[in-house]
Amino acid sequence: MTRIAIASDHAAVEMKTALRDWLAEKGHDVLDLGTATEASVDYPDFGYRLAAAIEDGRAERGVALCGSGIGISIAVNRNQACRCALVSEPLSAALARQHNDANVIALGARLLGIEMAKACVETFLSTEFLGGRHERRVEKLSNPVKEPA
């Protein structure tokens, strides 16, 4: 099974808890990086925590959650070790893995129900990177050039 880091802000703590428990029941090793309550917190702090766990190898994949998924995905993507995709249904989760080798997905707790979130996470974890023509592009995501060809 996969080592998965999960983090959320206050807007998504309920979804984070449900996904954490569901992933653990499926046999995954889940690293819960907070937050634990609905008290207001800043989503970048939790996005950065999750990104650090990916970078230092404590987790292979990550699930980042906030109200919309947008803010925390931006925070995670500040770390060059991460390729975080904001997804809203299983097709975008599959394409994030197949074409972009995403190692983190972001979900919006105010936009998705828990069953759709589970479907996205399930697809994200079960889909492989296609490689091939996509490898060159993914390499550029981790090693950007100042002047594109």
Query: In the chain, where does DSSP find H-type helix?
Result: 13-25, 43-55, 70-76, 90-100, 114-126, 133-142
Catalytic-residue membership of 66: yes
Catalytic residue, chosen from 10, 28, 66, 120, is 66
Catalytic residue, chosen from 10, 82, 84, 99, is 99
Asked if residue 8 lies in contact with residue 66, where contact means CB atoms within 8 angstroms, the answer is yes
Catalytic-residue membership of 134: no
Q: How far is CA 20 from CA 14, 27, 30, 62, 126, in A?
A: 10, 11, 7, 11, 17
Residues designated as active site:
66, 99
